[in-house]
Amino acid sequence: MYLRNLRLPLAAMLVGVVLNACSIAPTATAPTATKEPDEQAVAEPLLSASGIAHATVRERFVTPLTPEDNVDSPAVWLAPDGNAVLLATAKKTGRLMRYDGDSGVAAGVVGAPGSAAGQFDRPNGIFVADDLLFVVERDNRRVQVLRLPGFESLGSFGQAELQQPYGIWLRAAEGGGYDVLVSDAYMAGKDAKGDDIVPPLAQLDRRLRRYSVRIAGANVVATLRGAIGDTGAAGAIRIPESLWGDSRHDRLLIAEEDTVTGTAVREYDLAGRYRGRTLGLGLFKAQAEGIALWQCADGSGYWIATDQFKDRSLFHIFDRVTLEHLGAFAGETVANTDGIWLHQKGTKRFPDGVFYAVHDDQGVGAFDWREIATALGLRVACST
């Protein structure tokens, strides 16, 4: 997973795209890669050898493990009947994994490899908003939108400009539709070892793409609003993927996965300007990864950011307002985590919320928020 240099975009190109489910084949011809920019040839650090103080919180379940899928990122949809549907992208097999969000029981798969509607090629980032599912596909160079619960493909966007898209975050836009940010980890070729070469700073001005997206009947209508990417040494994102925003505090956090310059989390505003602050530089010892936000209406809450240790993943907690580091926890099993998802509203089994984290490219683990909060002295609910 990876995110790198971000600054203000501003190339406001109004590229209107209206796509139906029958016309979403990608136009890209860029070569695909089996190894990703954050998978460099270095020794994997271990939490057991890190010396970082943390609490241990036992997983309530870990889904069945399917290593052949290369599971990457989870998201949850709460169906009208109250059942939690846990979904996760399967990068290697080009499909979506489906589980019961309260028990972890496998509930089938969605899609198949390919470039047609309802098919996926290296799906990575995933996001649920209302009854819509947004899936980022690296090798189709697009974001595909499906309607839940039937997973009908409504179309896609981004094929004309995305090169190696990975992460996604979105919010409701004023006047309807969505403001969508997609990370793009384009690289400048490979070195003799086969590792990706990070582009020079001046070329990191397109690390995120911003789109206005709305649904018109059974069609996706997307408008490219510009590119984001700071080109300064402190604010640039060399290896991008995970990101999350906070509209209340005009804040966008982006995981910098580059261990050479120092893996950490960069703080931007929602317009894409680097705010001059990097969280956890020196604190993250493995690789900064998935990001989530626990939030209350009064503006308080907690950020969760992943440190991707190979033996057990570590999840750092930061204050939502001040960004002060409040502690960290790890599970008993979950390791090598890429994507995470926090479902704060609760489910039948987890009434005060549930935190999901991918386990070692093979499945998804679930943590009860009440147990996380108790272990770290956090609030269980906004009213407490």
Task: Write out the chain's pLDDT in tens, 384 residues.
Answer: 333 333 333 333 333 434 433 333 333 334 455 667 766 546 789 999 999 999 999 999 999 999 999 999 999 999 999 999 999 999 999 999 999 999 999 999 999 999 999 999 999 999 999 999 999 999 999 999 999 999 999 999 999 999 999 999 999 999 899 999 999 999 999 999 888 999 999 999 999 999 999 999 899 999 999 999 999 999 999 999 999 999 999 999 999 999 999 999 999 999 999 999 999 999 999 999 999 999 999 999 999 999 999 999 999 999 999 999 999 999 999 999 999 999 999 999 999 999 999 999 999 999 999 999 999 999 999 997
Domains, in order of start, for the chain = 3-20+43-376 (2.120.10.30)
How many angstroms separate the CA atoms of 318 and 133, rounded?
Answer: 28
pLDDT confidence of residue 22: 35
**pLDDT for residue 171:** 98
What's the confidence (pLDDT) of residue 44?
Answer: 84
- pLDDT at residue 3 in the model: 34
61-62 and 363-368: which strand pairing?
A: antiparallel
- What local confidence, expressed as pLDDT, does residue 36 receive? 76
The residues facing 4 across adjacent strands are: 238
For position 32, what pLDDT does the model report? 52
Phi/psi of residue 68, each to 5°? -70, -15
What is the dihedral sign for C-alpha 348, 350, 354, 359?
negative
| pLDDT of the residue at 24 | 34
How high is the pLDDT of residue 34? 64
Burial class of residue 46 (count of CB atoms within 10 Å of its CB; 0-12, 13-18, 19+): middle
Write the CA distances from 254 to 37, 170, 177, 363, integer angstroms: 16, 13, 23, 24
CB 273 within 8 A of CB 258: no
- pTM for the model: 0.90
Looking at residue 37, what is its pLDDT? 75
Q: Annotate the chain with three-state secondary structure.
A: CCEECCCCCCCCCCEEEEECCCCCCCCCCCCCCCCCCCCCCCCCCCHHHCCCCCEECCCCEECCCCHHHCEEEEEEEECCCCCEEEEEEECCCCEEEEEECCCCCEEEEECEECCCCCEECCEEEEEEECCEEEEEECCCCEEEEEECCCCEEEEEECCCCCCCEEEEEEEECCCCCEEEEEEECCCCCECCCCCECCCCHHHCCCCEEEEEEEEECCEEEEEEEEEECCCCCCCCCEEEEEEEEEHHHCEEEEEECCCCCCCEEEEECCCCCEEEEEECCCCCCCCEEEEEEEECCCCCEEEEEEECCCCCCEEEEEECCCCCEEEEEECCCCCCCCCEEEECCCCCCCCCCEEEEEECCCEEEEEEHHHHHHHHCCCCCCCC
Buried b (16+ CB within 10 A) or exposed e, 209-230: bbbbbebeeebbbbbbbbbbbb
Per-residue confidence (pLDDT) for residue 39, from 0 to 100: 66
CA 128-24-217 angle, to 5 degrees, is 60
196 in Cβ contact with 190 (< 8 Å): yes
